Structure 1
Amino acid sequence: MGLAPLGSFLVVLLTLLWLGSRWLRRRGAGWGHRTLCTAGPARADDVRALVVTAHPDDEAMFFAPTILSLGRFRAQLWLLCCSSGNFYNQGEIRKKELVQSCSVLGIPSSNVTVIDHRDLPDDPAVEWDTHLLSTFVLEHVETNCINLLITFDAGGVSGHANHIALYMALRYLQSEGKLPEGCQVLTLKSVNLLRKYISILDVPISCLQSQDVLFILTKEESEQAKRAMRCHHSQLLWFRHTYILFSRFMVINSLCCL
């Protein structure tokens, strides 16, 4: 195949992929509801969900599609952030930014908790203690009658050690039978680097993949997710702007039952 025909073929392929992504995205608003009911409580509006993150901005960078979709289904939402993000001594600033971001995403400030523990620093070189983390999570679950826990998977999306530590803590709670009866755990599925940065073009691919819950934001909701991310002013370096534009995690969340 010559270069000209090959170029034309690629243009047609990308156009079809883009059109298919837009069509699937419009249809995708209800998918999470149908699959969520098989993974957790019988009714989506009975969901009391706790999103467990490692750093301020994780909720917008990675979990916005889940949070906004659950809010659309009238679930009650809590967020537990396990560090203040103080790696560059910006912890107090980042905690305020987190509250602002959560407000945009529909989580009231009263439902946002930041753990600022000396043994849980924002540092990929520090191994977070599984038992300490699980204690904080379990306390939150029991206090707020949580029936759905959401966090990173074993890959941590970006491979960050603090993200992976959260997965290990929730896996420990579940494997040891410490979670209340009926409390489900969903983990955010990591993807390869190419898929991570093709935005809505990943919609058809995601639809063909195996997962228990798939959340796809509408165009209006994805703009809301971007507004939440922009609340983290201290973190908006040039590559974060690129992330906001191209990351599929600003539009799509694939989750699997633990």
Structure 2
Amino acid sequence: MEWPVIIITLFVLWVASLFKILHESLSASQAAVLNDGGVFHNRNVLLVIAHPDDESMFFTPTLNYLSSRGCNLHILCMSSGNADGMGNVRKEELYLASIVLKVPQKQVKVLDHPALQDGFGKSWNSKLLSKIIKKEIVNSAIDLVITFDNYGVSGHCNHQDVHQGVRKLLQDTSHKEVDAWELVSTSILRKYSGPVDIWLSLLSAKFHLSGVRHCLLNEHPRRSLAAMAQHKSQWVWFRKLFVSFSSYTYVNCLKKIN
């Protein structure tokens, strides 16, 4: 009798979590629940990722939240994801996904640098990454950068390298005026808990020092599926399951990089 009870409980919690997200997306009370003190309002934001589809698999709660709060969004993708020889295809797919995510296509840049090629075991130089990010910040008047944390959600070395590139940039005293935030990686159990993780994320943000961590619910979760579906070359069965069951589809916790 224990397993049926557990399954029913998880189902009820899943449904309740989805209703919570829907309620926050429709209710004027969302400002109280997701109050960031104006930290993420009306900013020039640069999302720094490693591969096309990172934005749709991991950062859609953040992009939807920022878009609805008047932010001017830019995406800098450090590679074309050419590990399987499909870099040109994946580059175009990112442009299509950016339209779904309300990011102007002209503000999406995909690199194909010989020293920044996609692949496990291919380390990227943090000085080179810092130089590229710095140039984009200057050219686009960026004042807020968002990227992966040191683990990079999935542990992919390229995700981790991008994080180190942002950290290297922050060591430059001339760019102290730029805020940088990282997407907090969670345990594998939380990663695949879907919308249920919103409760743990909200508690996590609540008990951290004010202004250091913010929890952003996805106000348009179906947009995550629509965006990822634009990456047709990557839209295979296991990624469909990932986007459906991943907590990163429903909530992002951002932590300030000091």
Normalised to the residue count of structure 1, the TM-score between the two structures is 0.89
Does residue 1:48 correspond to 2:47, yes or no?
Answer: no
Q: Which amino acid aligns with 2:246?
A: S
Q: Is the 8 A contact 2:115 2:124 kept in 1?
A: yes
Structure 1 residues 56 and 122, CA gap change in structure 2 (3 angstroms): same
Structure 1 unaligned segments of length 5 or more: list them: none
Q: State yes or no: 1:156 paired with 2:155.
A: no
Kindly indicate whether residue 139 of structure 2 is the aligned counterpart of residue 143 of structure 1.
Answer: yes
Does residue 242 of structure 2 align to residue 240 of structure 1?
A: no
Partner residue in 2 for 1:216: 217
The residue type paired with residue 222 of structure 2 is: E
- 2: CA distance, partners of 1:238 / 1:216: 25
Answering whether residue 205 of structure 2 is matched by residue 204 of structure 1, we say: no
Change (3 A) 1:169 1:199: same
Aligned to 2:24: 27
Question: Structure 1 residues 250 and 87, CA, compared in 2 at 3 Å: closer, same or farther?
Answer: same
Closer/same/farther in 2, CA of residues 36 and 62 from structure 1, 3 Å limit: farther
Whichever residue aligns with residue 228 of structure 1, its letter is A
Query: Structure 1 residue 241: deviation in Å?
Result: 1.1
Q: Given the superposition, is the C-alpha separation of residues 92 and 31 from structure 1 closer, same or farther in structure 2, using an over 3 Å criterion?
A: farther
The reply to whether residue 256 of structure 1 matches residue 255 of structure 2 is yes
Report deviation, 1:13: 3.9
Whole-Å Cα distance in 1 between the matches of residues 32 and 166 of structure 2?
25
Distance 1:202 1:168, change over 3 A: same
Secondary structure at the residue paired with 1:146? Answer: coil
Look up the SS of the partner of 2:97 in the other structure: helix
Quote the RMSD (CA, aligned, Å).
Answer: 1.9
Secondary structure, aligned partner of 1:186 = strand
What is residue 70 of structure 2 aligned with on the other side? 74
Looking at structure 2, the residues matched to 242 and 151 of structure 1 have their Cα atoms a distance apart, in angstroms, of: 24
Distance 1:228 1:257 in 2: 26
Please list the CA deviations of residues 207-258 of structure 1 after superposition, one character each: whole Å capped at 9, or x if unmatched.
111461211113xx11111100000000112211111211111111111000
Instruction: Work out the CA distance in 2 between the residues paired with 1:20 and 1:213.
Output: 22
2:59 matched residue in structure 1: 63
Q: How many residues are paired up?
A: 246
CA separation of 1:150 and 1:9: change in aligned 2, threshold 3 A? same
Distance in 1 of aligned mates of 2:159 and 2:103: 21
Work out whether 1:195 is the aligned partner of 2:164: no
Q: Is 1:134 the counterpart of 2:130 in the alignment?
A: yes
* Cα drift, residue 14 of structure 1: 2.6
1:107 CA drift (Å): 0.6
The answer to whether the 8 Å contact 1:84/1:95 transfers is: yes
Percent identity between matched residues is: 33
Q: Distance in 1 between matches of 2:98 and 2:49?
A: 12
Deviation at 1:34, TM superposition (A): 2.0
Question: Which residue identity does 2:57 align to in structure 1?
Answer: M
- 1:227 maps to what in 2? 226
> More deviation in 21-30 or 226-235?
21-30
Contact 1:56 1:84 (C-alpha < 8 Å) held by counterparts: yes
With normalisation by structure 2, the TM-score equals: 0.89
Aligned 8 A contact 1:17 1:204 in 2: no
Q: CA deviation at 1:114?
A: 0.8
